[in-house]
Structure 1
């Protein structure tokens, strides 16, 4: 793994907000290029350790972080609670998740994540998964495509987009990124890059079950984060950020928290960042992909 496999975002803010015990056990739920784990290890003492997860086999194979305090699992973070039980670990001191796509995934044409390259439209973070974006585009009904473009892409004209794709796939299967773009560009030509980015985002989130996995992660955090432990989550679009914000605030996905028999609110978290933390101008200048990142931090109470 080269050092530019992925540039970690908001490192100083994460280090300052996450580490409560330099001898503790921490989780990096999205290992990627290992930049966050490497920085965390530099702050931990020899008794500290990190359990890191990544569903992308290429991230595991190309790991350059050589440290006995790091244990790396080729798993989606939705399985972390099960793995912790297997390891005999009941609680951890802190949890980090960076929900973005890695630079390596975006910059590798054959992964099919980017609108910049003409290649098979794949988008699987775990390449062993059965369903690719190509499968979704060519087999989903107009109604199912409408749902994912509306829900995950937050596109107002989702039905029109879904219909345009279905019409094209009836003539000929759409197999590559550029074929998808050409199938819709005549219908939707305004703010082209931003629009296409949302189309690709919606497909990627459906392929990888990202919202379902995020919800499972948040529920797990309630169980495995010890009292006083911190959780830090970086998201990149409003749908994920709203889920994280609501869960940190209420301890569940409803708009109001649970209450006990006497009407007392049962709040599992203390929100440490009432507003999201954004990268500063200097970080964005060095790494433009950091521009849409937003960090939220909470403490288990």
Structure 2
């Protein structure tokens, strides 16, 4: 584990620090601590008067944060989903907020968490294994329609209905309890339809997003982040698939003060108040970073600044 920590490379670290424009005496929040790479870099730039608030829904990440930073008076740690940021009364008037979305490297690397189809393990996928239902529990109780809806909405799996129908039929005899079982089931059902992509990829992504309510958490977290930032504060969000990035992009546009309407609808009587301004365009990892850290290849960083 120690070796893995040393080899961990936080995604687009320099770009995140530049986007947040970290000030030595500022107040910052990392809503997705993970392995703590971004948090350590932010903390290194803070003086004694600076503050860093750390959140993560994963108790393992919180244990790491506590072991490493609990003795630092500048750091405050909270075991919660960043969607609950509005409930953290101390984390206000912030100069910067970072959200690094999706499944973290530690969660992927620990096969027993059930996020990967590359190893056989309990079919769990919860980012916080102490709360909510697992992927196995969802597949055991959900209707065919609900499973198909999740596969299409969260995995963009065009064979979602076929997969859902087959899952419901199979679970009558044997419920899905292992990642290896589900991965083999998808492979047998679909075959190798997409070169270079495991047939279970979209199903696993959809189930992970479903059981962790990732998109609704993102919506709530973005709203809370906007309120927690001070004027001039920066919001930096790293996304790893199009559903997340689309939500972030639409959030920023919605608060830019643009009039969102249709040519067929009557013109808006008043222009929305602008509360955010994008800082540059979407940022992608360099070829060198992708070569050093292949998991960064699908990352997109968007930065916005809160207006007065």
Conserved? CA contact 2:55–2:82, under 8 Å: yes
Which residue in the other structure is 2:75 paired with? 70
Describe the superposition over 1:124-180 as per-residue Cα deviations: whole angstroms up to 9, x where unpaired. Answer: 111111300000112111100011101100112211111111111122111101111
Conserved? CA contact 1:110–1:120, under 8 Å: yes
TM-score computed with the length of structure 2 as normaliser: 0.90
The 5 Å alignment of 1:256-295 reads 256=260, 263-274=270-281, 276-295=282-301
Whether 1:214 aligns to 2:218 is: yes
Q: Which secondary structure state, in structure 1, belongs to the residue aligned with residue 164 of structure 2?
A: helix
TM-score computed with the length of structure 1 as normaliser: 0.92
Distance in 2, matches of 1:68 and 1:288, equals 35
Offset of residue 221 of structure 1: 1.8
Distance in 2, matches of 1:96 and 1:205, equals 20
Q: Which consecutive residues of structure 1, in runs of 5 or more, have no partner in the other structure?
A: none
* 1:20–1:262 CA distance, 2 compared to 1 (3 A): farther
Distance in 2, matches of 1:61 and 1:265, equals 43
Distance in 1, matches of 2:280 and 2:198, equals 28
Report the aligned-residue RMSD: 2.0
Conserved? CA contact 1:7–1:103, under 8 Å: no
Which residue in the other structure is 1:197 paired with? 201
* 1:118–1:255 CA distance, 2 compared to 1 (3 A): farther
Which residue in the other structure is 1:133 paired with? 135
Which residue in the other structure is 1:32 paired with? 34
Distance in 1, matches of 2:160 and 2:18, equals 41
Q: Which consecutive residues of structure 2, in runs of 5 or more, have no partner in the other structure?
A: 262-267
Distance in 1, matches of 2:76 and 2:23, equals 18
Q: Which moved more, 1:194-203 or 1:237-246?
A: 194-203
Offset of residue 21 of structure 1: 2.9
* 1:57–1:292 CA distance, 2 compared to 1 (3 A): same
* 1:299–1:235 CA distance, 2 compared to 1 (3 A): same
Describe the superposition over 1:245-285 as per-residue Cα deviations: whole angstroms up to 9, x where unpaired. Answer: 00011129x9828xxx95223221101133x2111111111
Conserved? CA contact 2:85–2:225, under 8 Å: no
Conserved? CA contact 2:285–2:296, under 8 Å: yes
* 1:240–1:122 CA distance, 2 compared to 1 (3 A): same
Distance in 2, matches of 1:178 and 1:168, equals 15
Distance in 2, matches of 1:199 and 1:7, equals 27
- Aligned length, in residue pairs: 293
Q: Which secondary structure state, in structure 2, belongs to the residue aligned with residue 270 of structure 1?
A: strand
